[in-house]
A and B are shown apart, each in its own frame.
Chain A
Amino acid sequence: KNQVEQSPQSLIILEGKNCTLQCNYTVSPFSNLRWYKQDTGRGPVSLTIMTFSENTKSNGRYTATLDADTKQSSLHITASQLSDSASYICVVGHSGGYQKVTFGIGTKLQVIP
């Protein structure tokens, strides 16, 4: 069964600090991995997209890594800001068919002053 597990479930950090969110997946055949940011009461918005051949992708203060051999990804947030408070969702795409995706539950990040 295709699964995406994220850790931690929730995290509280001080403004200005760094943090790393984890994503482990058991998806086959793998196509791509995406990280989305979901603000409270809003729809998810894509941060990064990585295919099998990419192991790092940056978007400003967000850096995603992918290890396709161990089926792990991480999202590193540098110099956190209050606006980073949100849920971060890992989404893994399956190749073939109609491009199915499996969503993780998300990590809820709270940045406090």
Chain B
Amino acid sequence: NAGVTQTPKFQVLKTGQSMTLQCAQDMNHEYMSWYRQDPGMGLRLIHYSVGAGITDQGEVPNGYNVSRSTTEDFPLRLLSAAPSQTSVYFCASRFRGDTGELFFGEGSRLTVL
């Protein structure tokens, strides 16, 4: 039972570099999302998708890009990394219903120097 798989688990970048955080789920969930978790703050939504080919912005989308070409995969791209993007990133997925439980990946810790 893989659930939601995120890679890499740790990454160090220099300011201005770009990278992609990978997220894959094997539960056939329509809804997938990316959050960032910072000290003293609740999880904040970056981008989300309600199905293949459909994405939309969340609360803090600036500096990030997403695409959803398949139901299973939802990569998050950092276009030009900034120190303010140092954070722990979580991918989560669920079925589309209102009471659907969110299933989270294990997180990706990103440090931007």
Contact = CB atoms under 8 A, between A and B. Distances in A.
Interface stretch (B60-68, B70-78, B104-112): B104-112
Contacts of B100: 99
A34 B101 contact: yes
A32 interface: yes
Contacts of B44: 103
Size range of the chain B interface in the assembly: 20 to 34
Interface residues of A, number: 26
A28 B106 CA distance: 30
Nearest to B9: A41
Interface in B25-59: 31, 35, 40-45, 48, 50, 56
Interface of A: 4, 31-32, 34, 36, 41-46, 49, 51, 89, 91, 93, 95, 98-106
